[in-house]
Amino acid sequence: MFEDKQLVCQDCGDAFVFTVDQQQFYADKGWDKDPRRCKPCADKRKAERNAEGGGAPRGNFGGAREDRQMYPITCDDCGQPGEVPFQPTQGKPVYCRNCKTARMNAEGGGNTFSGGARGPREERQMFKITCDSCGQPGEVPFQPMQGKPVLCRNCFAQKRAA
């Protein structure tokens, strides 16, 4: 299905390999375009974007946003005063940070790394294989295709490092 591809970085012009694993990752995410930059250039661009303040809209991850207007509230759970980044609506409950966090965790939300709003991560289906290089049994997270070589984890890592 996938084979390593040689691509050319649009920034530095160097060739780089778009590996089978990376292609599978892109396919799993539903991304249909190949990367345009090699890893060093992509990392450099990301660092520049974050240094310019471009990282915050992608997820501030708890950092302060001084430009955000805050509205005073009284928490409907604990009665303590607090602030929220939205205009509270009459008749709808509003909670301070501590109570909201406690409610989200109790409902199974809150921490997206342990499930979050979408629930726990589904187990990935694994397919049994025999490595075409060493002959050892193994498992891969994709359906092997007839006529295409498939490698175990160790052989794949060795090939990738070469």
Which range marks the domain in which residue 129 is found?
123-162
DSSP string, the chain: ----EEEE-TTT--EEEE-HHHHHHHHHHT--S--SS-HHHHHHHHHHHHHTTTTGGG--TT---TTS--EEEE-TTT--EEEESS-PPTTS----HHHHHHHHHHTT-S-GGGTGGG-SPPPPP-EEEE-TTT--EEEESS-PPTTS----HHHHHHHHH-
Q: What is the pLDDT of residues 130-154, one digit of tens each?
A: 999 999 998 888 889 888 999 988 8
- Count of structural domains within the chain: 3
- Domain closes at, from 56, 76, 93: 56
In a domain, 43, yes or no: yes
Judgement on whether residues 140 and 161 belong to the same structural domain of the protein: yes
Q: Sorting pLDDT into bands at 50, 70 and 90, what band is 90?
A: confident
In a domain, 62, yes or no: no
pTM over 0.75: no
In a domain, 61, yes or no: no
Judgement on whether residues 101 and 142 belong to the same structural domain of the protein: no
Judgement on whether residues 127 and 97 belong to the same structural domain of the protein: no
In a domain, 13, yes or no: yes
pLDDT at 18: 92
